[in-house]
Homo-oligomer: A and B are copies of this chain.
Amino acid sequence: MNALLLVAHGSRRPQSNNEVLLLTQKLKNHCSQQYPIIHGAFLELADPTIPDGIQQCITDGATTVVVLPYFLNSGSHVTQDVPAIIETAQSSYPMIDIKLAQHLGASEMMLELLISSANQAL
């Protein structure tokens, strides 16, 4: 069973964290057939942590967990910190397939999304 874990940086501003969790809820409403298990997690400054989020996915019955970094830039969080956490989690759960998706900013759909947003303002 596939799980999707949306991972954001985390903020000291609760409203920003809530926006991420709200987006997670929208994902649940939008694609529960493809991903019966969907959770949100934060790299730092907020809970749940990424390991806690992965554990929750597995507790819910996931056999595959796709970790999707909700980050714009490919800084050290995306290139080092999140992959290191995933590697540790994979070692802890060898029977589970934990996959790391490309970060948000690298999506091939980004141009289309930006143009769509711009056009709506015209």
| Chain A residues in the interface with B (C-beta under 8 A) | 2, 4, 6, 8, 11, 13, 15-16, 19, 23, 26-27, 30-31, 34-35, 64, 66, 68, 70, 72-75, 99-102, 104-122
Contact = CB atoms under 8 A, between A and B. Distances in A.
Nearest to A70: B72
A111 B31 contact: yes
B114 A6 contact: yes
* Ranked 8 nearest A-B pairs via Cβ: A101-B121, A16-B73, A109-B113, A99-B121, A66-B118, A30-B111, A101-B117, A66-B121
A26 B107 CA distance: 13
Contact of A26 (B102, B111, B121): B111
A38 to B, nearest CB: 10
Given A27-B114, A101-B118, A109-B113, 9 more contacts: A6-B114, A8-B72, A23-B110, A31-B111, A34-B119, A64-B122, A66-B122, A68-B114, A70-B114
